Structure 1
Amino acid sequence: MLVAGGGSGLGLASARLLRDRGARVAALDLDKGGWDGLFAEADVADEAAVAHAFDALEAEIGVIRVLLNTTGIGHSGLSIGPDRKVTASGFRRTMEVNTLGSFILAQTLAERLTAADADSSGERGVIVNTSSIVAFEGQIGTAAYAAAKGGINAMTLPLAREFARYGIRVVTIAPGIFETPMFSGARGPMIDWLREQVVFPSRPGDAVEFAEMVAHIIANRMMNGTVLRLDGAYRVPVGRHDWWVD
């Protein structure tokens, strides 16, 4: 199994949980972070770098049949006006990492699995991408991130339909607010307010709860071609303009 973004946050928690349950897990990221197992460095938006990483990791653990992609970056702020923060270059990079990177990883794995043996049920592998509930309810200041995550949602079904003839499933998880290093380290009125909005349980999610969802998707073969919200009934509100003003 390969966890892209396995150096920290949701990816790291998933890599650890699945390894503890007997999977042979490798991580791919720009930084090894807290991961203490097999690792390859690559920018997921770089097709050649991803292919090289797959080659190196498969030489160690054999055919990779499960891919979890939790990589992602943000580019937030107002898009117009005197306090504008969003730039075309920042928007482009967000799309490259989040959307194009998800496609490159999925394409690379699926191409390799077409030549692999299927199991007794005809399955060759599983691809789990990570989106966000912001793709459904983007608040003020999240146009770039929402667009990039929305692209992941939109490719889920067409890829699942295309890869079905090879026995490869494609599922996307759209998490809400989770206690990752990025979120836990953030400060300010917006972050404090967001913490109070999860309906039940009335707290941000734990990364292990995300990992448990990944494990279930891998095991449940009827999960395919869909986007699953994992958010404690949280719905993203409109937000406020002044949150993005220095």
Structure 2
Amino acid sequence: MKLDTTLAIVTGGASGLGEATARHFASRRAVVTILDRDANRGPQVAHDIGGHFVETDVTDDVSVQTAIDQACAQMGGITTAVNCAGIALGIKTVGRDGAHPLPAFQKTIDINLVGSFNIARLAAVAMTQNTPEPDGARGVIINTASIAAFDGQKGQAAYAASKGGVVGMTLPMARDLASSGVRVMTIAPGIFKTPMLAGLPEDVQTALAADVPNPARLGDPLEYARLAAFIVEMGYLNGEVIRLDGALRMR
């Protein structure tokens, strides 16, 4: 698989890691369809990169199937799916206001974990229709976890649980799809300079960056995008989780 023949869908492609991935893939001549709930920013990014946009709720099976169908019609198929849609809530199991609200926990699981699986399962069906490469490859799914899956901090019970689920389904999904020629990989980013972090005061960003051993800075979303591109082209990578965190271990 090569980037210049890639037909990619990118969830959460209107901002952050997803936007960086969509832009980088397009710069390498991939055809990209952005799947996002942001009906304002999404079309703008798609226009910038010469791609497509479909308003999508990753937690809804009808919405995702419609998005997959439209992406296939616009691009002539799907060879790569990158899951970047997600949310992060900071709520303690028991805080000043009492127990962690169950709806907030469920929403985090629904978007981060169920949403990733929903996209993966339906994109995989489309990929099985592709003509195989000489090595049998028909596609690749790249999910996004987090280092919180391994060493989540206080207030991250819901987030860490959702990302731990993404890590946990990587290998079995890769094994499920092996006979179809579809690979499954997961990237577990550390602290990246996404819009959420960019809105924090400069001193807070500096303090966060200081915790990263080397290099002592926040991650650049383009670094995530470049790793995703490498995964697409490195056909022997399968069923694995790659930490992208500058050796950060949160405590």
TM norm structure 1: 0.92
- Give the alignment partner of residue 193 of structure 1, picking from 200, 207, 213: 207
Gaps of 5+ in 1: 238-246
Query: Cα deviations across residues 6-55 of structure 1 (Å, max 9, x unaligned)?
Result: 00111111111111111011100011525123100011010110000111
TM-superposition CA deviations, 1:93-145 (whole Å, max 9, x none): 00000000010000001112223221111000000000000010011110000
Q: 1:117 to 1:74 in 2, by over 3 A?
A: same
| Match for residue 115 of structure 2 among 101, 115, 139 | 101
Counterpart in 2 of 1:174? 188
Partners of 1:188 and 1:116 lie apart in 2 by: 47
Picking from 20, 33, 42, the partner of 1:26 is: 33
Shift of 1:75: 2.0
Please state how far the C-alpha of 1:192 moved relative to its aligned partner. Answer: 5.0
Matched residue, 1:241:
none
| Cα distance in 1 for residues equivalent to 2:99 and 2:200 | 18
- Give distance in 1, aligned partners of 2:249 and 2:203: 18
1:212 aligns with 2:219: no
Deviations 1:61-82 (A, max 9, x none): 1111100010101221221143
Segments of structure 2 that go 5 or more residues without pairing to the other structure are 1-7
Match of 2:56 among 35, 38, 42: 42
- Determine what percentage of the aligned residue pairs are the same residue: 44
- Counterpart Cα distance in 1 of 2:130 and 2:222: 31
Where does residue 250 of structure 2 map in the other structure?
236
Deviation at 1:158, TM superposition (A): 0.1
Q: Does 1:162 align with 2:176?
A: yes
Instruction: Tell me what 1:242 maps to.
Output: none
Which residue of the partner structure matches residue 70 of structure 1?
84
Number of residue pairs matched? 237
Q: TM-score, normalised by structure 2?
A: 0.90
- Give the whole-Å Cα distance in 2 for the aligned partners of 1:40 and 1:198: 36
Q: Return the offset for 1:208.
A: 0.8
CA distance in 2 between counterparts of 1:175 and 1:220 reads 19
Aligned to 2:142: 128
1:15 aligned to which of 1, 5, 22:
22
